[in-house]
Structure 1
Amino acid sequence: MWYWLFKYVFMGPLLSLLGRPKVQGLEHVPNTGAVILASNHLAVADSFYLPLVVKRRITFLAKAEYFTGTGLKGWFQRWFYTAAGQVPIDRTDADSARAALTTAERIVKQGKLLGMYPEGTRSPDGRLYKGKTGLARLALETGVPVIPVAMIGTDVVNPPGSKMWHFGRVEVRFGKPMDFSRFEGLAGNRFIERAVIDEVMYELMRLSDQEYVDLYAADVKEAAEGAATPASRMPSAAAG
């Protein structure tokens, strides 16, 4: 109930006013049956605008940190993300990744729409980064089609790192369903999984018109943070 109230009453009208969303290719999303929606990831707003334009309910896999806060703020955040259809996953190690994949399998086997961000995290600079193979393994193990989704302009409406929202123009482009049945029985083969996710990322690049970077976004963020830390610890010229 809360999902639909958020969509049509509490947040939908405001999101529509701020982003004036434009949609292309929505006819590719079936009215029934399991589908994996594979989206690029520019801003937190992606997880709001994608459900706004799709008639069916979407379940997202969200990092567990969203559900572990304490106090009133933590309770509200946990309640909000649960009501918004997000399922917590732990991504800290290989066992956690396997558990997350099991959760995803359960969702699609129930015939639901599953939203995933193959980059694994938000883009640090608006470019499209290398996809992780978890989505590929899920598609190969379940036989569920993958629909690429390009989010455009969400980083203008909701700039990363900012709590402020702005007026802009959001566009959501859906590609044609991608069928990987030709690789049936090859789940677990890392070369095949890499080929599958690279194919998905190519479609996302084509739909979004983003520049592609053959690096993981998380590694780029970590390197940037590591480079900034020593500089911040250096004494200033005035102090010297």
Structure 2
Amino acid sequence: MDWKSLEGLLSGANKYSTVFGRIWLSLVFVFRVMVFVVAAERVWSDDQGNFDCNTRQPGCTNVCYNYFFPISHIRLWALQLIFVTCPSFLVVLHVAYREERERKYRAKHGEHMRLYDNTGQKHGGLWWTYLLSLFFKTAMEVGFLYLIHHIYDSFTLPRRVKCGVSPCPNVVDCYVARPTEKTVFTYFMVGGSVACVILNLCEIFYLIAVRAVMLKQQGTVHTSLKRIHSGKKVRDVKI
């Protein structure tokens, strides 16, 4: 997987993000993608080859490994990183759509005319797109955390598992390669995911709070204008 290409694409969405979004992107690439590429893949590179069972029955080791580890942690984390970063592309696409509309509008009405004050400003539909992308990212993070915990029953990898699945002749003991090291990386990745969820929630509340303040200010301005116009009409009548 070419993570550099993904980073290049997300850097375009970074300039439209809030401060929480920029921290989130830094956290994803520094503490999750870098750890995933540099260390985590190597830690799990021998997970199946060094999964040993105390039997020589052909096929027993492979079946037991597939039974206890139906999906590799590495593949789940790769899918998680893809799914939580893809919603940011919706914001980039929406801004590109606005820029194309702006270009056509200027071509039709003249270069001095503007359809948007700022195509990347989070107002109207772009605000909703950005907010929905945050909800989707948060849902994906929580969903994958639940999925990992549900599949493996815990974030801690056991040192030994007992397996009685056919074609094993009886209940055999199987041993996981480097379980402590893998448990440490699992908790590190889970901690990074939880931190990203917290940042997403903070950004959601921040966007809603800023929008509420803006709407309140606009309502106050409209009310003041109405009062001014009403006052002028009363004075005109008296005169």
Using the size of structure 2 for normalisation, the TM-score is 0.23
